[in-house]
A and B are shown apart, each in its own frame.
With several copies, the nearest count.
Chain A
Amino acid sequence: SAANLTYVMPRIIKKFNVIYPDIKINLILSSSGKLTAQILRGAPYDVFLSANMKYPSKLYKSGFCKTKPKVYAKGSISIFSLKRKFTLKNLINANSIAVSKPMTTPYGKAAIESFKNAKIYNKIKNRLVFAQTVPAVISYVKNYADAGIVSTSMVYSKNIKNLGKFYYTKIDSKLYSPINQGAILLSDKKAAKKFYNFLFSKTAKKILKKYGYNVNYE
C-alpha cells in the first residue's frame, strides 16, 4: 500500500487477524507510482491501496484488477509543527514550510490547493520545500522547517510521539478537493478478498476514523 498508510495499516491488520488468525498479511509500503509500475509488470500483490484514485484507475484500465477501484476512506491534511501552533492564517510567519510533492502525492496537491484557496500561496511560495513523501515532511520539520503539511493520519500515529511535543491544526476540508483513498483487489485469492472486504467493514472504518480519515463517503 502507499506510504501514507504506514500508520493505520498495522492497526487494521491486527484487527483483521483477530477475526482471521490464519491469514498472514505482508504489508508492502512504497510509493503509489512505484507500486503501480510494479503491478503492471506482474508484481505478486493481492490488494492495492492508494492515497489517490489515479493509480487504481490506471490499473483498472489496464485490466489488472478483479474489482473496480473503490474509495474506502478520504484523507485529510494538517499543519504540523514542533515549534508552535500554526494555522493557515499565521503560516505566512513560518520561515519554511515543508510539503510533499504536489505532482506525485495527493496530500501535497491538497496542500497547495488549500494555500491557493486561502490566498496565501503567493506569499509563501518561496518558502516551500518539497519532500518526496509525507514521512519525509516530518523529517524536514524535525530538522529544519517551521511547519509542514502532513496527512492527518500521521499525527495520530504512535511513532510521531518519538518526536516529543508537537502541534497540529487540521485544514478545513472545504479548501481542497477530496483525497480519495482507493482500493482494488488484484488477485482471486480468498484471503485477499476477505481482507479487501474487511477494509469496508465497520471495524476498519472505526480505525480509519480514529486516524483522521473521513469515512463518510458515498
Chain B
Amino acid sequence: MNFDFTPFILSFKLAFIVTLFLLIIGIPYAWYLSVTKSKIKPFLEALTALPIVLPPSVLGFYLLVFLAPDSFIGKIANDLFNIKLVFSFPGLVVASMIYSFPFMIQPIQSGFESINKNIIEASYLGGKGKFITLFKVILPNIKPSLLTAIIITFAHTVGEFGVVLMVGGSIPGKTEVASVAIYDYVENLEYHKAHIYSAILLVISFLVLFSVYYINYKQKRKYDFY
C-alpha cells in the first residue's frame, strides 16, 4: 500500500494558516466585543456565532456562491489580488476562516471579559500603549482561553470537511485535504485505507495537541514550584 502524504500536509498547512489568520483578526475583534458598551454588542455576538449553525456543506454552498469569480467578492479578489477564491487553496483558507471564526472569537472574548482590569490600568499607568499592553499583559494573562481558542480552531479546521469539499472541490495536491481523502476512502468502501488514514490523522493531531498541552503543563508546574 502506498501512502500519499500530500493530503495531510495540506490539512495541517490549512489548519495552521487559518488558525494564524484568525488569531490576528480575532484578537482585536474579541477585544472590541469585550469592551464595547454599545447596544449592538449582543447583536454582533449572535451574528458571530451564526456560521456554525448552518450545516458545513450548506455554508460551503453559500460561500461558493459568494466567492465565485463572477460574484462581487470573487471579482475583487481576482482583479485586485489576482487570487481565485474557489477551487484553490486560498479559497479554502477564506472559507475555513469564515466557518471557524466563532471558535476563535468566543473563547478569547470570554478570556478578555474575565481578566482583572486593574493590571491593564497598571500597564497604561506604566506608560505602555494599548499594543504593548495587549501583548505583554493581557494575552499572557488569558493563556487558558487563548489556548482553547487556538486548539479548537486548529482541530476543527483539520476535521473540517463539508465547507472545504464544496469550496475546494477536492483537487488532489491542491485542495484535497486529509479529511476529504478519508471520506473518499469510506465512500469507496476501502475501509482498510480509511482506517489507516484516520489513524495517521489522529496520531499526528494527537501529537500536536499533546505537545501544546504538555508545554503548557510544564510551564505551569514551573510556576507552582515557587
Residues of chain A touching chain B, judged by Cβ–Cβ distance below 8 Å, are: 3, 6-7, 26, 28-34, 36-38, 41-45, 54-55, 58, 96, 98, 101, 103-104, 128-133, 135-136, 138-140, 143-144, 154, 157, 159-160, 162-163
B22 at the interface (CB under 8 A from A): no
Taking A143-B86, A144-B68 as known contacts, 12 extra A-B pairs with beta carbons closer than 8 A to each other, sorted by chain A number, are A6-B188, A37-B166, A38-B86, A38-B169, A41-B68, A104-B184, A104-B188, A129-B87, A129-B170, A130-B170, A131-B169, A135-B186
Dominant secondary structure of chain B at its interface with chain A:
loop
CA distance A179 to B165 in the complex (A): 25
User: Which residues of the other chain, A, contact B170 by a CB distance below 8 angstroms?
Assistant: 28, 30, 101, 129-132
CA distance A29 to B192 in the complex (A): 19
User: Which residues of the other chain, B, contact A7 by a CB distance below 8 angstroms?
Assistant: 188
Residues of chain B touching chain A, judged by Cβ–Cβ distance below 8 Å, are: 57, 61, 64-65, 68-70, 86-87, 165-166, 169-172, 176, 184, 186-192
User: Which residues of the other chain, B, contact A43 by a CB distance below 8 angstroms?
Assistant: 86-87, 169
| With contact pairs A33-B188, A101-B184 given, residues A38 and B87 touching in the complex (Cβ less than 8 Å) | yes
CA distance A110 to B41 in the complex (A): 52
One of B69, B169, B192 near A98 (C-beta < 8 A): B169
B169 touches A28 (CB 8 A): yes
| With contact pairs A26-B172, A129-B171, A130-B171 given, residues A42 and B188 touching in the complex (Cβ less than 8 Å) | no
CA distance A48 to B192 in the complex (A): 24
One of A26, A30, A41, A54 near B86 (C-beta < 8 A): A41
CA distance A133 to B187 in the complex (A): 8
One of A37, A128, A162 near B64 (C-beta < 8 A): A37
A29 touches B184 (CB 8 A): yes
User: Which residues of the other chain, B, contact A104 by a CB distance below 8 angstroms?
Assistant: 184, 187-188
Number of A-B contacts (CB under 8 A): 117
One of B64, B172, B176, B192 near A143 (C-beta < 8 A): B64
B69 touches A144 (CB 8 A): yes
User: Which residues of the other chain, A, contact B61 by a CB distance below 8 angstroms?
Assistant: 37, 139
CA distance A7 to B86 in the complex (A): 27
CA distance A26 to B86 in the complex (A): 18
CA distance A96 to B171 in the complex (A): 12
B41 to chain A, nearest CB (A): 35
B58 to chain A, nearest CB (A): 11
CA distance A142 to B165 in the complex (A): 16
| With contact pairs A96-B87, A132-B170 given, residues A30 and B189 touching in the complex (Cβ less than 8 Å) | no
- Which 7 residue pairs spanning A and B have beta carbons closest together? A33-B187, A129-B169, A41-B68, A159-B189, A143-B68, A104-B187, A135-B187
A182 to chain B, nearest CB (A): 14
A37 touches B87 (CB 8 A): no
One of B87, B172, B192 near A144 (C-beta < 8 A): B87
User: Which residues of the other chain, A, contact B172 by a CB distance below 8 angstroms?
Assistant: 26
CA distance A139 to B186 in the complex (A): 9
